[in-house]
Amino acid sequence: MNPVFGWALAALLVALAWHSYGWPGVLLALSAVVFWLLLQFSRAMRAMRLAGQAPVGVVDSAVMLNAKLQAGMTMLQVIGLTRSLGRRLEDGDDRWAWSDEGGSTVRLQFRGGKLASFELQRPAP
């Protein structure tokens, strides 16, 4: 979700709660917003905990990862797919790579926190 849209929706919820129920409504709306933020934080921490237990930059199948990737995904979504932290590449600002045991590698380029491009590199037969 776009953060601007999310915060606008939260502000709208608080305003509607104020208009409908006064201060008790505002407290309930703020509780709902805080609960949503805690759920998002918990999701991110769970993904990082799972990724932290795996070798860096290793996936079961680079080909399957390449098939599941879509432009616009966030790094958290990619880490959820790979269940591993990526290996940062030296040749760019926000470039990451994951490899499998067969030697195939998926290289990802992020711009503005979103996946901009990705390519699969396979070893020569």
- In this prediction, residues 79-97 reach a mean pLDDT of 89
Cα(71)–Cα(23) distance, rounded to whole angstroms? 43
- In this prediction, residues 25-46 reach a mean pLDDT of 94
Specify whether the CB–CB gap between 122 and 103 falls below 8 A: yes
Mean pLDDT of the chain: 92
In the 8-state DSSP scheme, what is residue 4? H
- Domain of 62, in residue numbers: 54-121
Of the two residues 86 and 91, the one the predictor is more confident about is: 86
Residues 67 and 105 in one domain: yes
Residues 67 and 39 in one domain: no
122 contacts: CB under 8 Å, gap ≥ 6:
63, 103, 104
Residue after which a domain boundary falls, among 15, 31, 51? 51
